[in-house]
Amino acid sequence: MSKTNFTRRGVLKTGALTAGGLAMPTILTAASHAGFTNAPSGGTVTLGFNVPQTGAYADEGADELRAYELAVEHLNGGGDGGMLSTFSSKAIDGTGILGKKVEYVTGDTQTNSDAARASARSMIEKDGAIMITGGSSSGVAIAVQGLCQDAGVIFMAGLTHSNDTTGKDKRANGFRHFFNTEMSGRALAPILEANYGSDRKAYHLTADYTWGWSQENSMKTYTEALGWETVNTVLTPVGAGDFSSYITPVAQSGADVLILNHYGGDMVNSLTQAVQFGLRDMQANGKDFTIVVPLFSRLMARGAGENIKGIFGSTNWHWSLQDDASKAFVKSFGTKYGFPPSQAAHTCYVQTLLYADAVTRAGSFNPCAVVEALEGFEFDGLGNGPTLYRAEDHQCFKDVLVVKGKDNPTSEFDLLEIVEITPRDTVTYPVDHPDFQGGSLGSCNAGA
């Protein structure tokens, strides 16, 4: 048996010193040299797609990931180019971003803020992601937005609808293309009045997290302004599954409208059970009982099946829009995947293009340069008409769609009909709107 002088502790010490020594040049050249986190070196740039692949919003997440993959393909010059041809800014040309080939890594947010932060951190620290995008829940989006601000990378929010994302929790490094609950309230109220009148009693069931609270608040504000009375508001846990114990009291509450501030799988379950418990067949206060789902998506409509017919809601975008940009996107997405994209897919695709465009116009991946390029950016040709990225809160202002569950769908995708395209001016709120106060953008953080 041979005797060596190695000790466990000695090996560990030497190993750690060697690893540190080897890493040092990389740290010095990559990060601090360029002056910002994860400055891309070599011929590629890495984007981080952080979407829910499990949990109540997993359907949305899967579609978001498809859209991201499509956007990367188009940015690298593959496919038919999708919205690159309709986008008003002609800075991106299908040669990657600033000549670097776009690569990506993905993470699973699990629709859980802690898991989302962990996967975003891993993508930033281990994979060198220069930008994080995604999230199909406002709780997650706000958590990841804060993390990106601290880490010094850009966060391009995916599907997040709470006012807080660009309200009290807004951050200089974060940008949202998707609309918010304030805009839903503004767009929906006139349609609800036209169809149901101004003498109604509403009962809210609300998902118990930032988006639900925000949605309930906006709907209360705008329906009460119509003259509606709010009978009760009840918070329900996310992923409750069986909503029966929340739904049964509604029938005896004296309400004649049920407003379901639920989204994704939760909304599918709560709406299905509300219909099972006969709410849509009943009469209350001499009127037909009705249900409103303020935030709609086609994926939810498919899960809820027939129950969605005739129900009003709002949406950021719908594949049946007939503008050139929407048609181009539906064509490339549909050809690749065999079905039309969801609103979640649309906003994620657009956000990726907007980021690439901002980097190209700025001529730099530096987050502060990107922030400057996006602030106050006015564009068109991405499916929602002329759109402004407002500098003061990093929120996009554009048209909002009011939709209704279609009575006679012609296909499994044709479930929602567009009732009205509410113009941008109607849904634009002032920067000092009280529901959006309590936080500030701060200044951009470029990290290292």
Partner 1 sequence: METIIIQLLNGLDKGSAYALIALGLTLIFGTLGVVNFAHGALFMIGAFCAVTLNRILTLSHTVIDETQTDFLGNPLKVEVPYVNGIFGEEMGAFIIDWNVPLAIIFAIPIMVAIGVIIERGLIRHFYKRPHADQILVTFGLAIVLQEIIKAFYGANPIPTPAPDAFRGSFDFGVLLGFDPYTVIYPYWRLIYFIFSMIIIGAVFAFLQFTTFGMVVRAGMADRETVGLLGIDIDRRFTIMFGIAAAVAGLAGVMYAPINSPNYHMGMDFLVLSFVVVVVGGMGSLPGAVLAGFLLGILQSFASMSAVIETIPGINQVVIYLVAIIILLTRPRGLMGRKGVMED
- Interface residue with partner 1, options 31, 115, 311, 330 (CB under 8 A): 330
Residue 81 CA to residue 71 CA, distance in Å, equals 9
Q: Which residue in the set 35, 305, 385, 439 belongs to the binding site for partner 1 (CB under 8 A)?
A: 305
Whose Cβ is closer to partner 1: residue 14's or residue 54's?
54
Q: Does residue number 337 form part of the binding site for partner 1 (CB under 8 A)? A: no
Task: Give the position of tokens 């060198």.
Answer: 128
**In terms of CB distance, is 120 or 330 closer to partner 1?**
330
Query: Nearer to partner 1 by C-beta: 40 or 334?
Result: 334
Contact 133, 351 (CB under 8 A): yes
- Residue 363, class by beta-carbon neighbours within 10 Å (0-12 exposed, 13-18 middle, 19+ buried)? exposed
Q: Give the other-Cβ count within 10 Å of 67's Cβ.
A: 27
Number of residues that bind partner 1 (CB under 8 A): 44
Q: Taking the complex as a whole, how short is the minimal distance between the CB of residue 309 and partner 1, in angstroms?
A: 14
User: Which residues from 37-66 bind partner 1, rule CB under 8 A?
Assistant: 53-55, 58-59
Stretch that binds partner 1, among 174-182, 243-251, 358-366, 370-378 (CB under 8 A): 243-251
Kindly tell me which residue out of 14, 18, 44, 248 binds partner 1, with binding defined by CB under 8 A: 248
Q: Please give the Cα distance from 130 to 106 (Å, whole number).
A: 13
Cβ of residue 194: shortest distance to partner 1, in angstroms? 26
Place of tokens 């609808």: 161
360 is written with which tokens? 């190209």
Give least dist CB 182 to partner 1, A. 28
Could you tell me the smallest distance in angstroms from the CB atom of residue 387 to partner 1? 24
Q: Is 244 in the site for partner 1 (CB under 8 A)?
A: yes
Contacting residue, 38, 119, 136, 269, with partner 1 by CB under 8 A: 269
Check residue 174 for interaction with partner 1 (CB under 8 A).
no
Instruction: Please list every residue from 404 through 443 that binds partner 1, using CB under 8 A.
Output: 410-411, 413-414
Q: At its nearest, how many Å lie between partner 1 and the CB of residue 398?
A: 23
CA–CA separation, 194 and 359 (whole Å):
45
User: Residue 6, exposed/middle/buried by CB under 10 A (0-12, 13-18, 19+)?
Assistant: exposed
If one asks whether residue 246 binds partner 1 (CB under 8 A), the answer comes out as: yes
Which residue of 283, 425, 430, 432 would you call a contact of partner 1, by CB under 8 A?
A: 283
**CB of residue 59 to partner 1, shortest distance in Å:** 6
Tokens of 284: 């209350």
CB of 273 to partner 1, least distance (A): 8
Determine the interface stretch with partner 1 among 10-18, 39-47, 172-180, 331-339 (rule: CB under 8 A).
Answer: 331-339
Which stretches of the chain bind partner 1, using CB under 8 A?
A: 53-55, 58-59, 232, 234, 237, 241-242, 244-246, 248-249, 251-253, 265, 268-269, 272-273, 276-279, 281-284, 303, 305, 319, 330-331, 334-335, 339-340, 410-411, 413-414
